[in-house]
Chains A and B, each alone.
Chain A
Amino acid sequence: MDIQVRVWRQSGPADRGRMVGYDVKDISPDASFLEMIDVLNEKLILDGDDPIAFDHDCREGICGACSMVINGVAHGPEKATTTCQLHMRHFKDGDVIDVEPWRAAAFPVIKDLVVDRSAFDQIIQAGGYISAPTGTAPDAHATPVPKKDADAAFEAATCIGCGACVAACPNGSSMLFTAAKVTHLGLMPQGQPERDSRVIDMLQAQDDAGFGGCTNMGECAEVCPKGIPLSLIGRLNSDYRKAIAKS
């Protein structure tokens, strides 16, 4: 199939950047979106042009590196699918496809489609951990966890930290990400000692990094490749309120 992509090109943080159109011919419908960009990049290199910089790693939907807003939707048109798992068969011959980086003050563009997501690391560093004694690992079943909690914690733990929630949010908020982490750890017995300080510190780190506040629109959950539910934000809000009341 033949398509045209219009890609955000920005040579570095100081460059203003612009959308540039490229024709991509004879692309297999079975190619992934990233493979399509690979093919385009090979051509750009042969032509002596600068290839398009983009983040990718596992290419199997588990690392969260790939980050593209495709036709205005983070990770493109397929629900619960990362860009690397999106295939060209979901587009039509002759389509014009716009590709942009995640847009957020807290995720500054490094080059083209690559953004700096270390703001998420700051949020994790602020409280996304548990304290565990070193030495012999305890038996996995030493601390019983109710099945319901284990399942809910696991669902939240599937967050791969890709940042699509921020890219989609009209307020540039990372509330779904933070909610997933706070839920994942706060549901487990091992996560109780830091439960209060975790939610306070992680929210502080999120606000400090320049993310917006949540207005419960639900854009984040729509684009989340892991289907993290919007309702977790309610849990974050309630944990935060209780923690503040105690502090």
Chain B
Amino acid sequence: MAVDTPIPKTKNAAGASATPTPRKVVRPSSIILKITMAVSGILLVLFLYVHMIGNLKIFLGGTDFDHYAHWLRDLGTPLLPHMWYLWIQRGVLTLAVLAHIYTAAVLTIRAKKARPVKYAHRPKVQGSYAARTMRWGGVIVLLFIIFHILDLTTGTVNPVGDHEHPYANVVADFAPDRWYVTLFYALAIVAVGFHLWHGIFSAARTLGQQTEKGQRRAKTIAAVLSAVLVVGYLSVPFSVMVGLVD
């Protein structure tokens, strides 16, 4: 009698079943990954809004626009030396993009592993188009970000590429004979719009939005915020194309 049988811990008892045994490596939890994605995403949305307001200054003419662009480099002075604030912001945004993509990739891999055998019969899922295209839409946005930096930040692929005259760069960019650039730009903006239509709602949910009423409100806010961004960003190339800005 009185044999000391160790009581199996719940985890071990469960591990004996047919499901895969728990892995030992410490992995960030799915909700931690989602929160990282939501916070980095929101930071990027804030930037998109500030950036859009700046872009709209193009309608005030070349002098105003170029003045704004130069002011950006002096932002934070005299507290910070010339260009410092700009570089800090670039660093933070780059970190946010990297964190966003890294978490998206980890979650995508986990999702793929979670359903190794596909359904033979699978109608289109009921989730919105925006929700279904987050991953590929995100990739399009990333490609655009890279192109956009080479185009209007470094000027590498811009026909003018003059750092002192950003207004001229923009006008040259969307010239009618460069319709393919304008098209890519427009497609990318629409992709951002779709991404945020689901993304802003998803971020609210990830950060704890939990009522039915709030869900309707969050979805409406997401739709409005994304639509405003799309219209704001598209207005610039459109106006250059039709000659409103030249």
Contact = CB atoms under 8 A, between A and B. Distances in A.
Interface of A: 6, 8, 13, 19, 69, 71-73, 98, 100, 103-106, 108, 110, 116, 118-119, 121-122, 125-126, 168, 170-173, 175, 203-219, 222, 229-238, 240-241, 244
Contact of B201 (A125, A210, A216): A216
Contacts of B113: 105, 210, 212
Interface stretch (B40-48, B49-57, B72-80, B127-135): B127-135
A122 B17 contact: yes
B30 A108 contact: no
A32 B35 CA distance: 43
B111 A170 contact: yes
Chain B interface extent, by class: 35 or more
A234 B210 contact: yes
A185 B116 CA distance: 32
Interface in B161-193: none
B18 A105 contact: no
B117 A229 contact: no
Contact of B31 (A116, A215, A216, A241): A241
B19 A119 contact: yes
Contact of B209 (A173, A218, A234): A234
B202 interface: yes
B126 interface: yes
Interface string B199-222: 001101111111110110000000
Given A217-B131, A236-B31, 9 more contacts: A103-B118, A104-B114, A121-B14, A125-B10, A175-B30, A229-B212, A231-B205, A237-B35, A237-B205
Contact of B206 (A69, A73, A237): A237
A192 B66 CA distance: 59
B22 interface: yes
Contacts of B131: 215-218
Given A105-B114, A218-B126, A241-B35, A116 B30 contact: no
B165 to A, nearest CB: 43
B114 A122 contact: no
B121 A213 contact: no
**Max chain A CB contacts within 10 Å: which of B17, B114, B120, B205?**
B114
B141 to A, nearest CB: 16
A126 B31 CA distance: 17
Contacts of B30: 173, 175, 203, 206-207, 212-214
Contacts of B20: 105-106, 209-210
B90 interface: no
